[in-house]
């Protein structure tokens, strides 16, 4: 009996010492991110394009460059889009760099964007001319979702800012080089002194951003993009 107790004691000591040694010599576990096992609805990618940039200033009024105003507004839109649970914004530029127009839409195609929205401020000879307008490439057929995108953004932008509604228009645009739903919004005129003051005002820029977000959400809702997990309106590549 005594021998069994001694044997048990020795076994216990060996086990305890082994455990202690294992603890001492154990290498620290590598920093691993916890793996999310819950399936997540994939993000809907929204490509936002601050018009111009780098060598191309866009409209120039005194020392105000369109490219800078565009970028300020787009950064505000990005913040709002980012806060939406299903949406992921991708910008064609985040700094003052030259980016070719075709590269911008190629990026949108490559990331599998649900839509492409270019954002500009306008200019005209007559300083009285003011208001917002949204453009669609004129080769888009009447059933193309670009029209719905343009109308949604135009309506929500005008409602959010009270800017004069110059409507949805069409002309030949580089947007014809993508099949994505695509539009280009001109949020106001830098050449109109009264509107220029607003366009440079951070609070008004926030109103513009809220309007554009609302337009994007209205479009996604009407087009049913958010109802289709795993799918966007992006067509398969050719």
Our CB check for Zn ion shows the closer of 178 and 232 to be 178
* Binding of residue 120 to Zn ion (CB under 5 A): yes
Our CB check for Zn ion shows the closer of 52 and 210 to be 52
* Binding of residue 140 to Zn ion (CB under 5 A): no
Q: How far is the CB of 186 from Zn ion (least distance, A)?
A: 7
Which residues, numbered 10-29, are part of the site for Zn ion (CB under 5 A)?
none
Our CB check for Zn ion shows the closer of 67 and 220 to be 67
Sheet strands side by side (includes 132-137)? 87-91, 44-50, 115-122, 182-189, 132-137, 165-171
- CA 57 to chain CA centroid, Å, is 22
Count of residues that bind Zn ion according to CB under 5 A: 3
Which residues, numbered 39-58, are part of the site for Zn ion (CB under 5 A)?
51, 58
| Largest CA-CA distance found in the chain, in angstroms, rounded | 110
Our CB check for Zn ion shows the closer of 51 and 53 to be 51
Residue nearest to Zn ion (CB): 120
Per the CB < 8 A criterion, the answer to whether 136 and 187 are in contact is no
Query: Which token pair is 7?
Result: 């044997």
Q: Give a three-class secondary structure readout of 173-184.
A: CHHHHCCCCEEE
Residues near Zn ion (CB under 5 A): 51, 58, 120
């Amino acid at each position: 009996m005594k021998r069994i107790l001694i044997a048990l004691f020795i076994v216990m000591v060996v086990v305890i010492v082994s455990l202690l040694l294992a603890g001492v010599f154990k290498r620290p576990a590598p920093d691993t991110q916890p793996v999310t096992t819950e399936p997540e609805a994939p993000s809907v990618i929204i490509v936002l394009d601050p018009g111009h940039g780098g060598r191309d200033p866009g409209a120039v009024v005194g020392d105000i460059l369109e490219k800078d105003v565009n970028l300020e507004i787009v950064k505000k839109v990005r913040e709002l889009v980012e806060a939406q649970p299903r949406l992921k914004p991708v910008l064609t530029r985040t700094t003052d760099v030259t980016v070719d127009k075709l590269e911008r839409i190629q990026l949108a195609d490559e990331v599998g964007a649900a839509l492409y929205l270019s954002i500009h401020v306008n200019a005209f000879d007559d300083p009285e001319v003011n208001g917002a307008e949204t453009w669609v490439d004129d080769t888009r057929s009447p059933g193309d979702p670009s029209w719905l995108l343009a109308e949604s953004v135009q309506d929500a932008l005008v409602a959010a800012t009270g800017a004069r509604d110059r409507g949805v228009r069409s002309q030949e645009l580089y947007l014809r080089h993508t099949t994505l739903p695509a539009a280009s919004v001109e949020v106001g005129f830098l050449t109109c002194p009264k509107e220029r003051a607003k366009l440079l005002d951070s609070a008004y820029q926030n109103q513009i951003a809220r309007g554009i977000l609302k337009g994007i959400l209205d479009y996604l809702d009407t087009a049913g993009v958010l109802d289709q997990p795993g799918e966007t309106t992006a067509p398969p590549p050719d």
